Chains A and B, each alone.
Chain A
Amino acid sequence: MPDSTTDRFDTLVAPHLRMLLRVAYRLVRNTSDAQDLVQDTCIAACENPAGIGATEHPVRWLLNVLNRRFVDRTRRQKRASFVGLEEADAATQLVCGQPGPEELLSRSDAERALIQAYLKLEDAQRTLLVLRAEGYDLTEIELITGLPKEVLRARLHRARRSLARHMDEQTGATPAALRIGSKT
């Protein structure tokens, strides 16, 4: 096992850095927040040799930590108090978790609606959809998140239903045809 922190980074984390950044970006849909998430994950991995060094699957460990950091970050943002613009320091950089104008401009209307609908989902649903979009099946997601497969299946199903409903709200379509079990 590598001894120093930088050695652990080079050996265990750096090969998966691009994948981590992609998953983080899928989760938060924002480049700055994604970089922060990945950096937090890297620091946790390199300063905790008993964690990533002891596991046989560093990718799962990293994704687990990334998911936890994402949930913590989202909860912290929900608890954050709002400050009026008059009271805010002019030097303070106001950071928004939503996609920036450039990111929105480069997308089509359908993609924008999909992203807006996705951002309305709960944290756990977003995590499951992202891991599934990354190609992990339920068995691997179970190992990453530690949740039972039946729970994951139900949550994934609800996530798809919620995403479709929010998409219909974005585009103005009627959600009647998307209800569970409805067949026309």
Chain B
Amino acid sequence: MNCSDIAETLDNRNVEELGTSERRDIEAHLAACPTCARDWELHKAFSALTDMQEPAGFPADCRALIAAGADRSQRVRSRLVLIGVFAAVAAAAAMLTATLWQQERIPLAAVQDTVAPVSVSGGAMAQIAVPAGQKPTVTEPCSGGCGNTLERTCEVHCTCAASELQRNGCSHAGERRGNRCGQQSGHQAPESSRHQRAAVASGVEADRRRLCRNLPEPARRLRDQNQWRHGHARPGFFRWPVCLRTEARRTNAEGR
């Protein structure tokens, strides 16, 4: 018997399990080894230190505590279920509304038969009967004078003008050529960048002036000297400003 055996016994064996011969060997080693003797004494003393007085009624108190906790958790669970049901209903209603809005734009009005105000050519308002679940359809001749008939599906609250209607299917030559203005040369395009680009493409002088109104000084000088090259100002948002800067740079270089 050595110190490792004593440690193994202390780790895995109980004193009551030891046989007579084992006890004799252990006592012989403990008499010669104070470290092991101290560990053995401490282990025995600590194991015997069970002076706890069990409190009266502790199991009953524990059981009552468990029962109260179960009742409380049941109430909380019921409340959570109710909240979950309400949340699910609200989420479903919100999703349904959003889906109808995506499909019909104005869901509640489009579900029923209604009379929708629609602006047609020249900004005039027309009353169009809208069947349930369908979008109103507008049919009118192309205002460009080509003789074609335009037919488009309109939104309930559509306020599009005739030029907007022509974008949706007009086979007019002016539509194909330019940047969706759809008008012949000489047309006064509205004050929007899209129509400005379209006007530049069609080469209208008035629109070119309007486009060049805010040009920097070198470019304005180019315009006044009638050196503006329309080919450089091609439609496209990212193209013509670059062209303007190139012209200005070139003009400045020449001026020096």
Contact = CB atoms under 8 A, between A and B. Distances in A.
Interface string B32-74: 1111001100110111011111110011001101110110010
B42 A167 contact: yes
A181 to B, nearest CB: 8
Interface stretch (B9-17, B145-153, B218-226, B235-243): B9-17
A160 B59 contact: no
A47 B39 CA distance: 41
A163 interface: yes
B7 interface: yes
A177 B34 CA distance: 7
Quick one: which of B32, B43, B58, B65 has the most chain A CB within 10 A? Answer: B58
Given A14-B59, A178-B38, A5 B67 contact: yes
Contacts, number: 111
A130 to B, nearest CB: 8
Contact of A17 (B12, B32, B46, B58): B58
Interface residues of B, number: 34
A178 B41 CA distance: 12
A111 B50 CA distance: 11
Nearest to B73: A47
Given A156-B11, A157-B7, A6 B55 contact: no
Interface in A35-51: 35, 38-39, 42-43, 46-47
7 contacts: A9-B66, A21-B52, A35-B58, A111-B51, A160-B39, A167-B42, A178-B34
